[in-house]
Structure 1
Amino acid sequence: MEKLSTGRLSHLYMTIFLHNFSTFMVIPAITDVTMTALCPGRDECSIAIYLTGFQQAIVGLGTLVMMPLVGNLSDKCGRKALLTVPMIFTIIPLGILAYSRTRNFFYVYYVAKTLTAMVCEGSVHCLALAYVADNVPEVRRASTFGILSGISSSAFVCGTLFTRFVSTPSTFQVATSVAVVAVIRPKHCLQYLDLIALLKTSPTISQAAIVAFFSNLADVGLHASILYYLKARFHFNKDQFADLMVISGVASTISQLVLMPLLAPVLGEERLLSIGLLFSWAHMFLYGIAWSFWVPYAAAMFSIFFVFAQPCMRSIVSKQVGSSEQGKAQGCISGICSFANVISPLAFSPLTALFLSERAPFNFPGFSIVCIGFAAMIAFIQSVMIKAAPPISSEPVSSNCNHTEP
């Protein structure tokens, strides 16, 4: 396997940074935009929670189909060609809110975001992982995946920090412009029997798939609920959301760029995966029982550890297949994560809306967040069962779909 040149790798890092910068910087502002459009003047809005949950369910259903397809197509058509498609689609919803954030334009954005996210959600990250795995030796793969995640985290920090000091209209205008620059910079049919064969061939991939499902179930549930929970519980606004995200982003960036390259060779991906998932559960539980406005800030610091989970899981999976099937393997895991994206909002959004409303059966606003944390705990328990397995990269997965009649 040839080593990826530093120049080409830097080119990929810059592309991922710009793309993530444009998508992350709108997150602190979107809650206020949504509630202003749907429930002006209020800090609690059940319809906003339900619409967000419905959107994530539809997006998850779409990406459940699209992610394995994108991964498999990238094995045949090339990573770069497929990478351009979701990056172009990302521009559309950002441009709508950059133009106007009135109720009618919000609904147009909502539909466009739902449709485009069915293709875009997670596909850029998946293709970048497959591209790196094609060219980076196995012994360096975990650290390189960590660096790639660190680049994403640094984009998260820069994007949310930028949002902290600009107006809401400027946020969406800049995000649209950066998304365009990200696209300009980087100049078959899906066979599901292949994916089933992949899971059957490697018990390690099957275990990682279970971890991926439950960890993503928890992550998506938290992301769909936490901002509305903090707004209703402690009256957080755009600036406080940005502050919270900057704290989390700085901690995770330092962790992925400094700690993970040092710890991965010593502890191994399996142990780091378990450590990350344990702290993921802990920070969700702490959010759920938050008794004061400063507790979420303390919980955000846990990101220095829970960011280990995703790159370690992806590295474990990448070592189980050959270089010609990296897209298929990463697409398989991304597809399973997308299935969790369907289930999570359907399960947790109504629960969050109920406990933030006056109809709550008992006074525990963070009850849904605690329930979300149990999914992270299941992922942690499963991760402990993953044992270091010898890579089978020299033996590509085969299935009857690839056989031809004589």
Structure 2
Amino acid sequence: MRARPAALIFILLTALIDIVGIGLIIPVLPGLVKELAGSEVAGARTIGLLTAAYAVMQFIFAPILGVLSDRFGRRPVLLFALSGMALDYLLLAFAPNLAWLFVGRILAGITGASLTVANAYIADVSPPEDRAKNFGLLGATFGVGFILGPALGGLLGEYGLRVPFMVAAALTGLNVLYGLFVLPESLPESSRARGLRRADLNPLLPLRALGEYPILRSLTLTFVLLGLAGQVIFSTWVLYTEGVLRWTPGQNGVALAFFGLLTAAVQGGLIGPFIARFGERRTIMTGLVSSILEFTVLSVARSGALLYASLVVGALGGLANPALQGLISRQVSETEQGRVQGAITSLNSLVAVVGPVVATSVYAFGVTHDFPGAAFTLGALLSVAGTLLILGVLRGMPDTGKPQQG
């Protein structure tokens, strides 16, 4: 396969615009939901349901759109996904009630396969020896988008909660035009799938692998517990900062951008040397213990300084997942990697359905009982349970990255 650098630049630009649009709405969506719901408690519960509705649609339709992109090409599916996101942002910008928010989020979940297709596009236009590097470029683009998006969304949110949605709709609309007139198709007719099997459209199929590989059987409950813990921060961070600290969208945008920078530094620069120095097992445990500390600090944080301290500690939690993925990848053969990763992705998708509902319900319960940090306490307990489980698994496995002596 010949390298196609121009096509790679096109898809990275498309992905950047898409991710900035997603990031734009993060600091302001909870505020809009609370405004339409009428109270903080009702808003918290509604946010959990909205996030779950989006996750259910993603779980069902993302694999289907991936299969359709194999059959009909990447470009039409990508344009369909981006058009759905633009319509979602418009619905959110002008939604008169909560019902319209649900319509928008369900639509976004159905069409939200742009990043899945972007991964396939990069595989199409990259020689095998360059794919890891180019996937890394997509990951870096993802990081830049989630630094720029929340910061810009928080700034725009100071002028009105609906302004970031309008800007996100405009950006995504421009992305559709860019894809329509500039982005080339990456999958030639000769390389496309010739038909569709019913089994290809079954989103539950990848989960079968969870019971077929010893490493996944041992770690399934761990993934569930740690995934639920991660959903706590994703679902309740803005609710907490607005409700307890009275932060504005601008302050949330700056904090989220700061966390994006920290995460990029850990993922991009620290994890390799850390594994080389301390080994995979210690890297995993360092990340998990850092996450426990992050949740513990958040559960009692009543100042901006403590919240920023939790972000610094929490960024080190990003050490765990890449090291764990690397360890898992060596327990199965090369021909089984895709199936194993697909099973983990499907499991995480199911957790993303349940997690936000649980997290926001616990947050709402805490607010009504004068303990707004209840959800973060739950996150700490889930992280402790997951860490204890994984500790038992790691003790029975070899560590490839041995700590250096002296």
Q: Call closer, same or farther: CA 1:272–1:92 in 2, change over 3 Å.
A: farther
Q: Call closer, same or farther: CA 1:194–1:292 in 2, change over 3 Å.
A: closer
Distance 1:57 1:347 in 2: 10
Q: What are the ranges of 5 or more consecutive residues in structure 1 without an aligned counterpart? A: 391-406
Q: Which amino acid aligns with 1:47?
A: A
Map of 1:109 onto structure 2:
101
The answer to whether 1:181 aligns with 2:168 is no
Q: Call closer, same or farther: CA 1:86–1:282 in 2, change over 3 Å.
A: farther
Map of 1:301 onto structure 2:
312
Q: Call closer, same or farther: CA 1:88–1:207 in 2, change over 3 Å.
A: farther
Map of 2:206 onto structure 1:
195
Partner of residue 90 from structure 2, selected from 84, 95, 101: 95
Distance 1:136 1:277 in 2: 36
Distance 1:83 1:322 in 2: 29
Map of 1:393 onto structure 2:
none
TM-score by length of 2: 0.76
Q: Call closer, same or farther: CA 1:164–1:221 in 2, change over 3 Å.
A: closer
What displacement does 1:322 show? Answer: 5.0
What displacement does 1:287 show? Answer: 0.9
What displacement does 1:338 show? Answer: 1.8
Q: Which amino acid aligns with 2:376?
A: I
The answer to whether 1:369 aligns with 2:376 is yes
Q: Which amino acid aligns with 1:280?
A: S
What displacement does 1:33 show? Answer: 2.0
Distance 1:6 1:317 in 2: 32
Aligned residues: percent identity? Answer: 18
Equivalent pair of 1:16/1:151 in contact (CA under 8 Å) = yes
Distance 1:284 1:232 in 2: 17
What displacement does 1:132 show? Answer: 5.7
Distance 2:74 2:390 in 1: 29
Equivalent pair of 2:21/2:149 in contact (CA under 8 Å) = yes
Spell out, residue by residue over 1:195-214, the C-alpha distance to the aligned partner (whole angstroms, 9 max, x if none): 35533443334456544433
TM-score by length of 1: 0.76
Q: Which amino acid aligns with 2:142?
A: S
The answer to whether 1:239 aligns with 2:253 is no
Equivalent pair of 2:12/2:141 in contact (CA under 8 Å) = yes
Map of 1:249 onto structure 2:
260
Map of 1:292 onto structure 2:
303
Q: Which moved more, 1:88-97 or 1:75-84?
A: 75-84
Q: Which aligned pairs between 1:347-362 and structure 2 lie closer than 5 A?
A: 347-357=358-368, 360=369
Equivalent pair of 2:244/2:302 in contact (CA under 8 Å) = no
Q: Which amino acid aligns with 1:89?
A: G
Q: Which aligned pairs between 1:2-401 and structure 2 lie closer than 5 A?
A: 7-39=6-38, 45-71=40-66, 82-98=77-93, 100=94, 103-104=96-97, 107-120=99-112, 123-129=113-119, 141=132, 148-166=138-156, 167-168=159-160, 169-183=162-176, 184-185=178-179, 186-187=183-184, 188=196, 189-190=198-199, 195-196=206-207, 198-207=209-218, 209-260=220-271, 262-263=273-274, 272-312=283-323, 320=332, 326=338, 328-357=339-368, 360=369, 363-384=370-391, 385=393, 387=397
Distance 1:203 1:81 in 2: 39
SS in structure 2 opposite 1:60? helix
Computed over aligned residues only, the root mean square deviation of the Cα atoms, in angstroms, reads: 3.7
Q: Which amino acid aligns with 1:63?
A: Q
SS in structure 1 opposite 2:304? coil
Equivalent pair of 2:271/2:319 in contact (CA under 8 Å) = yes
Equivalent pair of 2:287/2:318 in contact (CA under 8 Å) = yes
Q: Which amino acid aligns with 2:164?
A: T
SS in structure 2 opposite 1:28? coil
Q: Which moved more, 1:72-81 or 1:27-36?
A: 72-81
Q: What are the ranges of 5 or more consecutive residues in structure 2 without an aligned counterpart? A: 185-195, 401-406
Q: Which amino acid aligns with 2:380?
A: G
- Tell me the matched-pair count: 374
Distance 2:2 2:47 in 1: 42
